[in-house]
Structure 1
Amino acid sequence: MVIQSDLLPFSVTFTMRFLEGESEQKVPFFFTTESELYEEGATPVISVTENIPLQIHFQSDNSSDRLYMDGLDALPETFIQIDKQDGDIFLQPSEHPVVLYDIQAEYYYPYIPGLYRLMVRHENENYYAWLKIVPKQINQKQLDIMREEVEQVLKGLAHDLVYTSAGLDLEQTNFASPELFKQFRVIQANFKRTMSALNDLYRKVNYRIKKVYQLVPEDKSRLIDQITIRHRTQHPETKQLIKTPVNTLDFDLPENRLVKSIVEKLIQTLSLFASAVETYVNKGNTEIPSFEHEPVEKKYHVKNLDQLKEYMNQAQQMRGALHWFRTAPWYKQVSEKKDLVPPIVMTTDVRYRTLYQLMNNLRRESVDIQLDRSLSYQWKRTDKLYEIWGFIQLLKFLQDERLGFTPVSGWLYNEEIHDHLIIPSIQPGTTVSFSKGDLIVKIVYEGKLPTQSLDTHPLQQPLYTSGTNNHPDGRLDVYEKEMYLGSLLFDFKYRSKTAIWKPDLISTNKQTNTMKQLVSYAFHCRSPHLFEGKLHKSVRNTIRPVPEVWAIYPGRKQLQTSEYHDDHGIKLIELSPGFENSHIIEELKQIMDLMLQRKEAMVR
């Protein structure tokens, strides 16, 4: 439901200041639910140009109303309020506007291009609107790239999962084309249902009654019609025979022709797949690579061949079952004529529908991969899109050959592969586990930190905090076997670097909440599980389990830089859409090496 602002007891107004004067924009209407905001609010109600001095004025008849908006944490505490329970930052109604951006002011938050959500809480009801920051100096393509990359990377990860779920190394799937392998997997996943439908069709296929005429002895003729009479008058020489109508079963229907073409396609695909695997396996048995100094690789190579042999046997067995279906009494009576439009029975009869759906999946030549609907909601807010995009980039970096981690469980990697795969949304608390030899890393999205050691767990929640900030955007827990080595905390900040960390405010009491938040993560986190408790408590408490906190932000150019503030354990790292960003891989390697070296020095 949409409500015009004039009908509400509050108002939100943005004021832009130009050389020639000021321009005010009042939010004209609000949505009453967040889902309506995402589904119907495609056009933002307020648009503001980037890097223009900006003020916001929140007015209401109720002094307890609250206005929430991303970026308020960059303002001094004198302008904002902080919820004591969840730490959320908000503005209260005021007679005076609040400066969001001013080139001359010490405090400012230069909103960078994107969509930002406004939420007003009035008498326990929420009202929503969009603010759009329009690019002034950067190309709109960066925003589009970020959205495209999220979807492409998600689907790429899902495709990789199709291979790895089959027990095959992605580098060793060149025994057949990716399309042929995917088609086999689709057939394999659907074969039980397919044969159930075919078994029924073998015995009870659709047909129609068709009238045909046969020459039979006159004394055996039962029916006579006009065609019979016409034939008798035109052929008086056949006095002993008469052309009589006979009812017969006609199986050559459009749906049966389509079933026959699908079965022939399945047999062809399985034959090609089995042949390709057989060639690869025979070659692998006679030309096994030299693994003299790499026993693990040799073991995996043999396992890979065994898995492929199993697939070859499955393909041959499925092909044999389809050959049996060819023996149906009606099968040869069905022509191979192709109909342009599938008959309606292909969607109304469950037997035919099963085969029709399989055919459509084969045409796509892959498992049907779809995005959870809520994912598209999450990335309509540009700041949330940047969080999700950044989190996915970290998942990719961990799997890069320079780090060499393999996903084990969590999120997408818990999904079962059938004929379709819906990529789940990334919910708070989502944990993805990776392994490499004895190393295990767990990356957590928006995991809340407990505030006392009693609520920790060595393998699931190793950290607690004595500070007020306990909700980082992400956390990377590092283990050697089951020994906890430490964590990397990171926050995605969709803003410029200068709006995140202001060195000139360090020695003042005007540090922004963003700065206080990052420092709190670095110095207030503790863990009773560090190094499996092999250190005396007095010694362990002197060690920070979080050696670094990353503030990850987007940039306009491919600088690939990081800026480390040693006194505070804060590292500012640029991660920008449209660029390679490979420097993050080296940063991840360094922080994990640091944790390993620290363990070697402390634990004997």
Structure 2
Amino acid sequence: MDTPFKLYFEENQRRIEIPCYTSMEQCVTEAPIQLLENRRLTCIFSGEGTVQFDCLEDTFTSGVHVLYQYEHNLAYPFLPGEQLGCVKIASETYYFRFIIQPRVSVAEHEQMMQEIEAFLKGYSTQHTQAFTHALPEQFFHILYQIQQHPIQQMAHIYELEEVERGGRINQRSQLYAMRHPQEQRQLVQKKKMNWNLPANQMLKIQLQNSLAIVSPYEATRIRQFLQQDWMQTVDVPSHYIHSNDGMYNPYYREISQILQNRMNQPIVRGTVQKSKSGAEIYEVWGYLKVIEYLKELGYTSRNAELTLKNNSKGDVTFDHDTQNYVELVKEDTVLRVFWEDALLRDARKVSPMQPLYTWHNHTPDCRIDFWHKGIYKGTHIIDFKYRHLEKRWTEQVAYSDPVDSMFKQLSAYALARSNSQQLNNVAEPLLDVAPVKQVWAVTPYTTTHQETIEGYPLQLHTLQPGSQNESFKCMLESIVQTM
């Protein structure tokens, strides 16, 4: 539709005009534009007013605004799925909607989340809050109907106004004038619409409580309803309210029933949140796959229960108070599989739980420490990279010294050192100099290039959702046997 401004996305070299609508109802019924996660992205706005994305704190005025450049190693600002935004011009608001597609296929993205859930459900008996079912679209249609026809009543209010400006003068007005002889204005009675009624107060409480149990996209749409001017006049009392007015109104009654059903749904443990980026989901999925494949080699777990934090990032967490690892055992061999555990910077602090130290870029996604009969034998490190790497890897092999930032990070892991005297009570200089046997960069995209970069034990491997990953499993088994 025609708007007094122009709004575009520029994704890589592709410029896409963003359609905007004056009503949220029309916005959510029209087909949204589609973007691909982790591509260069710029927002271009020309006109008066401000652009606001629901998931971003910053607002944008006229100009060119860079949202993402992967060269700067920043996080992509949008999560996979539907996103909302608006353009505000004076008293007018225009809404727009777009979909972020994951870098892997949608089916692979969903499969990773399902496999994470399945793994964690089988790993522990504890429970974590989960969002398993979407609110029906009818829910938001009802909210729109309430927005158009809320429960309201006319109220009589008194306001001070200049003399002879209208309004009803009655006994209360005259009494006020007698008590305030110096007042130059007069108290007049006026009629004003009142929405601060028990039915709306109950509705507001229910909607605010629902924000904790719905998806980010659903929460955004509910917040937009709560931000309406008339809803802002509704108080939230400190105690729960039951309103017969709301029960008699079919729209209010149905909203209450839908939310009550959602509240009563069973809590399921181990559900990966939809509010995670594709890269974060791939890292979690990859870590759990490594554990799964090690268990297929005959290792059994003897410690932590795994769960997912119920927060915005949704990290894997453990039942340990201070440690983040799974311990796998087979006969006299123990593997400790750490998740995002920072390497030390001080050789004097080396311990059985942190056998490595380095100087920078020191938090690998997955670290496997090998112990045999109580003796530390070395470490294998895996970093999960949610992007195409084969071309960069092929180019990097031509260099004897890593220059790319990613390769600097991986080489820092490879060059980590240890202190066998503190770990094994016997100095082993060869182990201390090279405790990290290999460092893998792992991608979900098919790659045939596994050549080790000269001078560094770095390799590129594929770990792909929906695949048997036989090559990856064979290489992992080889590492375990070698250690």
TM-score by length of 1: 0.40
**Bigger Rg over Cα:** 1
TM-score by length of 2: 0.49
